[in-house]
């Protein structure tokens, strides 16, 4: 653990533990690009099983999982339906337009979660004028929605409606294990009726690299085409995927600890004069809105906390995001609380 700071910026900030690194000494590896890395193949089988899918492919990042899935499911000129808060909208550099030539119909949501009715409302009936609506994208949990978990019946209703309309459904499951641990609902239940879904290893699971994209055999065959095209085919990935297997064995059940710490932060911030609203914490993400009468922006508050060696993310002008993970313990939460208490002086100085 990095003891010099309390880094709540993201759960992507974890460093591989000694045990994780030691787990890959002597690991069996081979040329992944040719499907010849046994450890990578083992990981892919395990993740496909977790999602209840036929097949899977290892990729360097979650963004590449999303972009490859979009490329497989669509043709240039097609339209995607998703929430405005989706990672594919706010953090993937417009890749879906550049790489797949698709357009997007975004849904304004409260916490990144939409309804089956939104899909049928935005679906365009085939005509010689309109783009083909082709794909619906869900994000479990919703990052910008403050780690909100899609209720099972809602995500299934969305997928069923999409399927009835002849659309494909893709899940950005970067943090789907956080949802599963928080609710006790299996990943395969959340992913049922999806055509593709993926899991990040670099977030709550604490690995340095990697994500696994799952789907049908045909989907994964096509995904390999784009993996090579986008430069995501690798070589001796066993040293990476061995760590992912280690994380599946050792870092899943403990996610509830991250959720408990996020709850502790929520409880503290809810009583702080600095914030007018803290979104209800469901998993490991805390999103808090700075009160208008405090007179500081999210950037100013982030910088103040940063000077106290506590890292958080400023989201827009008035929101702070804090994420708990493997490398922040109770002492780090104490330091966050102390730094926030000190920040209350910013208000009194107005
Ligand atoms: C919901 C969500 N999707 C996708 C990604 C992208 O993953 P990566 O950083 O591995 O590209 C992230 C990263 O934080 C995310 O939070």
All domains of the chain in start order, with CATH: 16-250 (3.40.640.10), 254-348 (3.90.1150.10)
Q: Would the pLDDT of 4 be above 80?
A: no
* CA–CA gap between residue 237 and residue 210 (Å, rounded): 10
How many DSSP H helices and E strands does the chain contain? 14, 13
* CA–CA gap between residue 342 and residue 208 (Å, rounded): 33
Residue 226: per-residue pLDDT: 98
* CA–CA gap between residue 179 and residue 138 (Å, rounded): 13
Determine if the pTM surpasses 0.85. Answer: yes
Distance 140 CA to ligand 1 centre (A): 11
Distance 112 CA to ligand 1 centre (A): 15
* CB of 141 closer than 6 angstroms to any ligand 1 atom: no
Chain centre to alpha carbon of residue 27:
28
Q: Which residues, 6+ apart, have CB-to-CB distance to 230 below 8 Å? A: 64, 67, 68, 99
Distance 126 CA to ligand 1 centre (A): 33
Residue 293: per-residue pLDDT: 87
Tens of pLDDT, residue by residue over 79-129, are 999 999 999 999 999 999 999 999 999 999 989 999 999 999 999 999 999
Q: Which segments within the chain are labelled E, that is strand?
A: 6-7, 55-59, 79-83, 103-107, 133-139, 168-173, 196-200, 211-215, 275-278, 285-290, 310-311, 313-315, 319-323
Tens of pLDDT, residue by residue over 211-237, are 999 999 999 999 999 999 999 999 999
Contact present, 213 and 27 (Cβ < 8 Å): no
Which of 64, 91, 113, 179 to probe ligand 1 with, by most ligand atoms within 8 A of CB?
91
Q: How many CA atoms lie within 13 A of 38 on its CB side?
A: 5
* CB of 143 closer than 6 angstroms to any ligand 1 atom: yes
Residue 5: per-residue pLDDT: 67
* CB of 146 closer than 6 angstroms to any ligand 1 atom: no
- Residue 233, CA distances (Å) to 63, 171, 245, 301 in order: 15, 22, 19, 41
The minimum-distance atom of ligand 1 relative to the CA of 61 is 10
| The two three-digit tokens of residue 175, written as one number | 């943090």
Q: Is the peptide bond before 101 cis (omega within 30 degrees of 0)?
A: no
Tens of pLDDT, residue by residue over 61-85, are 999 999 999 999 999 999 999 999 9
Pairing mode of beta strands 168-173, 196-200: parallel
């Amino acid at each position: 653990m990095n003891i010099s700071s309390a880094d709540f910026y993201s759960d992507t900030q974890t460093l591989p533990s000694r045990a994780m690194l030691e787990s890959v000494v002597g690991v069996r590896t081979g040329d992944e690009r040719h499907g010849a890395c046994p450890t990578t193949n083992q990981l892919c089988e395990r993740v496909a099983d977790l999602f209840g899918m036929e097949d899977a492919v290892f990729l360097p990042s979650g963004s590449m999982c999303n972009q490859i899935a979009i490329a497989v499911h669509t043709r240039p000129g097609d339209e995607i339906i998703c929430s405005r808060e989706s990672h594919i909208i706010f953090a993937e550099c417009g890749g879906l337009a550049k790489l797949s030539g698709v357009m997007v119909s975004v849904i304004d949501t409260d916490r990144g979660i939409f309804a089956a009715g939104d899909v049928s409302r935005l679906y365009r009936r085939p005509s010689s004028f309109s783009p083909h609506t082709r794909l619906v994208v869900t994000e479990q949990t919703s990052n910008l929605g403050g780690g909100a978990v899609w209720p099972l019946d809602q995500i299934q209703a969305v997928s069923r409606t999409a399927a009835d309309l002849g659309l494909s459904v893709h899940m950005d499951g970067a943090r789907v294990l956080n949802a599963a641990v928080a609710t006790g609902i299996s990943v395969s239940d959340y992913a049922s009726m999806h055509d593709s879904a993926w899991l990040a290893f670099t977030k709550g699971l604490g690995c340095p690299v990697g994500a696994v994209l799952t789907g049908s055999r045909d989907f994964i065959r096509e995904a390999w085409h784009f993996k090579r095209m986008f430069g995501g085919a690798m070589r001796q990935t066993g040293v990476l995927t061995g760590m992912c297997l280690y994380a599946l064995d050792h870092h899943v059940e403990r996610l509830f600890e991250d959720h408990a710490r996020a709850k502790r932060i929520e409880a503290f911030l809810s009583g702080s004069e600095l914030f007018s609203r803290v979104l209800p914490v469901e998993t490991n993400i805390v999103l808090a809105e700075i009160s208008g009468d405090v007179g500081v922006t999210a950037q100013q508050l982030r910088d103040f906390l940063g000077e106290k060696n506590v890292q958080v993310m400023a989201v827009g002008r008035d929101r702070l995001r804090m994420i708990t993970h493997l490398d922040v313990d109770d002492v780090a939460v104490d330091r966050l609380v102390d730094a926030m208490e000190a920040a209350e002086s910013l208000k009194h100085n107005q």
